[in-house]
Chain A
Amino acid sequence: DAKTTQPPSMDCAEGRAANLPCNHSTISGNEYVYWYRQIHSQGPQYIIHGLKNNETNEMASLIITEDRKSSTLILPHATLRDTAVYYCIVRAASGAGSYQLTFGKGTKLSVIP
């Protein structure tokens, strides 16, 4: 699986959009970009994933550059409950039923009132 690079921490004002970048310059053609977050003392939570196209769901939007070497997770209106560590993970889709996530250090997002 390709490695990812994320800033260690970011601040965001409550109500504003939080844009979390991720670099994955060695990503290969069959690898997906996944985002998870971990709120303090809880288990990680799936947010969104994508391959080439931009994706949006009820939690966030994922913008993937055309060359796929980087992506940005967007929380459109950050709330205090979005304070968490956000992990960007690159993972190949395999034929096996299981896959193992490799978590990096992530970005600690602090939403400030």
Chain B
Amino acid sequence: DTAVSQTPKYLVTQMGNDKSIKCEQNLGHDTMYWYKQDSKKFLKIMFSYNNKELIINETVPNRFSPKSPDKAHLNLHINSLELGDSAVYFCASSQRTGDRYEQYFGPGTRLTVT
């Protein structure tokens, strides 16, 4: 059973389009995240979200927006795609248990903007 899943695995689209990436976790976690890994392999947090708060990294353009229909899903919507948005996007989830904060990551979605 896949703990954190993402669809699609690959996404190729043209500049200016609007696209969405879906994320689902079956771990019962209460917090989900989106990370971006660029071509230089730097992995950066974009958002963290639970039913109480959304924390946005200030460097993320407002063309990116997370949407959570329920606790198990956190989708990433991207408007007006740009070449620089090409990257691998990872979804993750976590549940605090005492001092344990480990995050479980999905397999990633490789987005290519042409």
Question: A93 contacts which of B4, B31, B99, B104 (Cβ < 8 Å)?
Answer: B99
Interchain CB contact under 8 A, A97 and B99: no
Of B14-22, B44-52, B61-69, B79-87, the one with at least 4 CB within 8 A of chain A: B44-52
Bound: A105/B40 CA distance, A:
10
Of A17-25, A45-53, A67-75, the one with at least 4 CB within 8 A of chain B: A45-53
Bound: A63/B99 CA distance, A:
18
Interchain CB contact under 8 A, B45 and A98: no
Q: How large is the interface on B (under 10, 10 to 19, 20 to 34, 35 or more residues)?
A: 20 to 34
Interface residues of B, dominant DSSP: strand
- Chain A 86-113 interface residues, beta-carbon cutoff 8 Å to B: 91, 93, 96-103, 105
B55-73 CB mask vs A (1 if < 8 Å, else 0) is: 1010000000000000000
Interchain CB contact under 8 A, A46 and B48: no
A43-B105, A46-B102, A49-B102 in contact; A98/B90 too (CB < 8 A)?
A: no
- Chain A 1-58 interface residues, beta-carbon cutoff 8 Å to B: 32, 34, 38, 41-46, 49, 51
Interchain CB contact under 8 A, A99 and B107: no
Residues of A within 8 A of B108 (CB): 41-43
* Residues of chain A having any CB pair with chain B under 8 Å: 32, 34, 38, 41-46, 49, 51, 85, 91, 93, 96-103, 105
* Residues of chain B having any CB pair with chain A under 8 Å: 4, 30-31, 33, 41-45, 48-50, 52-53, 55, 57, 90, 92, 94, 96, 99-108
